[in-house]
Structure 1
Amino acid sequence: MLRDLSPQSFLMGLLTAFVGFSSSFAVVLQGIKATGATDAEAASGLMALSIAMGLCGIVLSVWKRMPISIAWSTPGAAFLASVGTLDGGFAVAVGAFLVSSLLIVAAGLFRPLNRVVQAIPAPLANAMLAGVLITLCLAPVKAVAFNPWLGLPIVIAFFVGGAVNRLLAVPTALIAFVLVLVFGINIEPDALAHVGDSLMPSPIFVLPAFTWAALISIALPLFIITMASQNIPGITVLRVNGYEPPPGPLFTATGIFSLLSAPFGGHAVNLAAITAAMCAGEDAHPDPKRRYWSAVICGIGYVILGLLAGAVTAAVALAPKILIEAVAGLALVAAFSGSAMAAFKDAESREAAAITFIVTASGISFGGISGAFWGLLAGGAVMGLAAVARRMKGRPKAK
């Protein structure tokens, strides 16, 4: 293995870890806190996820000798931010994380369940994801309205960085956030001392609780979003780059590591898509057989960054909440535009996708069950009625 390690793979692995962590940790923190977690529990969840995805990536890459990059479920975290706190608080959310993880394990072990997920119409899955993401995507606008002197530098930095290199957009916005935090906000010395004291986060075990509302509102949509928007595209990215990984064992592995992180506040880890392309492409190494080292180095980087999660969470807490939401929203703009375009691409399913998007984006829950579930159900009903109407029109009239 050591002969396969190259400076090119090493540097690409470090870059991938930095981009993967910095571009979406704000979304993850926002999602975990929205379900009722304290700052300490959110730091524990961020640490657990980062370590889990790092170790999972190392194990799978070494085992399969493929650049299998793992990430936390960013769309899943955005979904959690839209759901908010349910009755029972963070404990019922953790219970839902466990059930979602078990479903991912089952999807890897049992092909019929995997096929069920893949059978969900793509326009509806994308419309549900777009409806989930739009709430956070509005945060940059709200941040500018809240305080232009604080919000505008973050937004401008995002677009300037993105104009130079798409991968630099979110890290540049994050740097602007730090500068705004340092020079634009009055911070008490005691608060700064707390950041230093929080350098190493403490893992916090959360005793899970289970309710039907949480299982339907969080576990089922989180499972669908993680599989449809992360795991399945992650397999596609690897295949596009010339690898043929067995989907089942990879899904099962991500479910197991998600299961291990859940009691400490982690919602889900999964196959990466964007960062997977970085590790699996030619920039990682000209020889495809040696690119797996980039994913291994990336995994090591994630573990190290996870150990700094306490300081990251404490620093973020110093700023007004809307500013870190703005960074999270900017990080999701590309995902929102991609899912929205895919949802409304086909004229035949456009109306059903629109209903799914509207109901999901409304954020309204019925019977304690979140809008994402009802959006998927409503869109499916509209699509089903349209299919029946088309069949009726196609039948010859009775004489």
Structure 2
Amino acid sequence: MAVKPNKRPFMEGLKEIPRHLTIKTVSAGTLAAVFGCTGPALIIIGGAQNGSLTNVQTASWLFSVYFFGAVLGIFLSVKYRQPIAGAWSIPGAVLVAAALKNYPFSEAVGAFFVAGIIVFILGISGLIGKVMEWIPVPIVMGMIAGAMIKFGVGIVTSLESAPIIAGSALAAYLLSSRMTAKIPPILSALLASSLIAALVGQFQTKELSIGGVVPQLAGPSFSLDAIISISIPLALLVIGAENAQATGVLMAQGYRPPVNEMTVISGVGGMVASLFGGHNANIAGPMTAICASDEAGDKKESRYAAVFVNGILFGLFGLSAGIAVSFVAAMPEALIGTVAGLAMIGVLVNTFQAAFQDRRFQVGTFFALVIAMSGVNFLKISSPFWALVGGVIVSYILEKNDFNASKSGRGEESGDALEAVG
């Protein structure tokens, strides 16, 4: 039986949280937060370092995506009594990290704001379905996989450059995955490799600062190149990856998620987060999956409390972003590369499956994959945009019948999910 959105007042739902807090809801919310605050955070910080951002800019970016993502998730979950978690787009952070090599941070911030506007407009207009008919999910997923594959490769290159540190992270990850489900393997990898790095003198303790840095407002500037390279792919990632995944997970668990509201508030979250340099704050697919699972409790109407726990922890992490940036700055590069890569394993596997599990758009998806992997930069526009363009053109030339099948509603579950998103 489907769980419909409950539209009772927000404060009433907030008052009911204590009676829905159980060992399972608390543990699921904590697990989702631990996952989100370890490896994925390293992706943002690593991208900021590659883009030569200051510690203040990095802390502001980290603060905005975690804090406003937490607010978004708590608001939606409490209002609708469904485990709708908020955070930020991991693939989006990967896309932005690559783009920061080509654009000033101020132009990237302007592009973040525009991406939020695009998501917001698509949400209130109901045009999402039309857009996704012409940019199919497999092609979007192929682009994501191509942009993110470097993190998987980073595990191998880190093993070559720093075998002891990277090897300890990999060993801890594998052993933890094999021996216990109670401790997130990525946390084991981070702790083990940090200990080894400290023992061999690779931890730069002079970079540590207990006080951290205070997040600040970011000044945006706008350029057409940055909007094309960042805003369009980022908006499609939020809609076609994060929101679609969360919607599919909730529907599979018997919920009827408020799809339009989820999209609109993801657009608002993107605009607000951009004020502090965050690339977005939106519905989080992986965290929603954890909080909506059976591990979050037998009573489906109580699982939204797991998102409340997750949101509180995310918010606290966001408020301490300056300390987190200081801590990561002290880590050796190989440690960051290995742990970030390990954190992306599940995301990469799921992305490749979503890209190639169906028979449709296979050639276009392949082209989207390799174009994104190439890192090409035509006309000052980065590869994720060209991956989408190239994938769609190739599919339209060679796989036109797949577009017709998609429009007529035939096909796989992802097509059904996108129809729901529209």
Same fold, judged at TM 0.5 (above): yes
* 1:110 to 2:125 alignment: yes
* 1:197 to 2:214 alignment: no
The farther-off stretch of 330-339 and 69-78 is 330-339
Counterpart Cα distance in 1 of 2:44 and 2:204: 26
Q: Does the CA contact (< 8 Å) of 1:72 and 1:270 recur in 2? A: yes
* 1:46 to 2:62 alignment: yes
Query: Offset of 1:94 from its aligned partner?
Result: 0.5
Letter in 2 for 1:97: F
Query: Offset of 1:306 from its aligned partner?
Result: 1.3
SS state at 1:196 partner: coil
The farther-off stretch of 351-360 and 25-34 is 25-34
**Which position in structure 2 is the counterpart of 1:344?**
356
**Which position in structure 2 is the counterpart of 1:396?**
none
Query: Offset of 1:3 from its aligned partner?
Result: 5.3
Moved over 4 A (4+): 186-189, 388-391
Aligned mate of 2:159, from 117, 126, 144? 144
Letter in 2 for 1:140: I
Counterpart Cα distance in 1 of 2:387 and 2:135: 13
**Which position in structure 1 is the counterpart of 2:36?**
20
Alignment of 1:121-136 (within 5 A): 121-136=136-151
Query: Offset of 1:151 from its aligned partner?
Result: 1.6
The farther-off stretch of 151-160 and 337-346 is 337-346
Runs of 5+ in structure 2 lacking a partner? 1-15, 404-422
Counterpart Cα distance in 2 of 1:35 and 1:118: 34
Aligned mate of 1:31, from 47, 55, 66? 47
Query: Offset of 1:54 from its aligned partner?
Result: 1.0
**Which position in structure 2 is the counterpart of 1:78?**
94
**Which whole-Å deviations, capped at 9, do the CAs of 1:150-181 have from their partners, x for residues lacking one?**
22111222222222356722111111232133
Alignment of 1:209-248 (within 5 A): 209-248=221-260
Query: Offset of 1:248 from its aligned partner?
Result: 0.8
The farther-off stretch of 73-82 and 182-191 is 182-191
What's the RMSD between the two structures over aligned residues? 2.2
The farther-off stretch of 24-33 and 361-370 is 24-33
**Which whole-Å deviations, capped at 9, do the CAs of 1:259-286 have from their partners, x for residues lacking one?**
1111212111222222212222233232
* 1:299 to 2:311 alignment: yes
**Which whole-Å deviations, capped at 9, do the CAs of 1:325-351 have from their partners, x for residues lacking one?**
221111112222222233233455332
SS state at 2:184 partner: helix
**Which position in structure 2 is the counterpart of 1:62?**
78
Counterpart Cα distance in 2 of 1:227 and 1:328: 24
SS state at 2:378 partner: coil
SS state at 1:239 partner: helix
SS state at 2:373 partner: helix
Aligned mate of 1:326, from 311, 318, 338? 338
Letter in 1 for 2:211: D
Cα–Cα, structure 1 residues 228 and 388, in superposed 2: closer, same or farther, change >3 Å?
closer
Aligned mate of 1:368, from 380, 383, 394? 380
Query: Offset of 1:188 from its aligned partner?
Result: 5.7
Q: Does the CA contact (< 8 Å) of 2:83 and 2:307 recur in 1? A: yes
Q: Does the CA contact (< 8 Å) of 1:107 and 1:114 recur in 2? A: no
Counterpart Cα distance in 1 of 2:256 and 2:205: 54
Query: Offset of 1:189 from its aligned partner?
Result: 5.3
Query: Offset of 1:379 from its aligned partner?
Result: 1.5
Q: Does the CA contact (< 8 Å) of 1:78 and 1:136 recur in 2? A: no
Query: Offset of 1:20 from its aligned partner?
Result: 2.2
Letter in 1 for 2:316: I
**Which position in structure 1 is the counterpart of 2:419?**
none
Counterpart Cα distance in 2 of 1:247 and 1:377: 27
Runs of 5+ in structure 1 lacking a partner? 392-399
SS state at 2:127 partner: helix
What is the percent sequence identity of the aligned residues?
Answer: 28
**Which whole-Å deviations, capped at 9, do the CAs of 1:229-263 have from their partners, x for residues lacking one?**
11111111111112112211111112212211112
Counterpart Cα distance in 1 of 2:74 and 2:332: 36
Counterpart Cα distance in 2 of 1:349 and 1:390: 6
Letter in 2 for 1:196: I
Letter in 2 for 1:164: M
Q: Does the CA contact (< 8 Å) of 1:91 and 1:208 recur in 2? A: yes
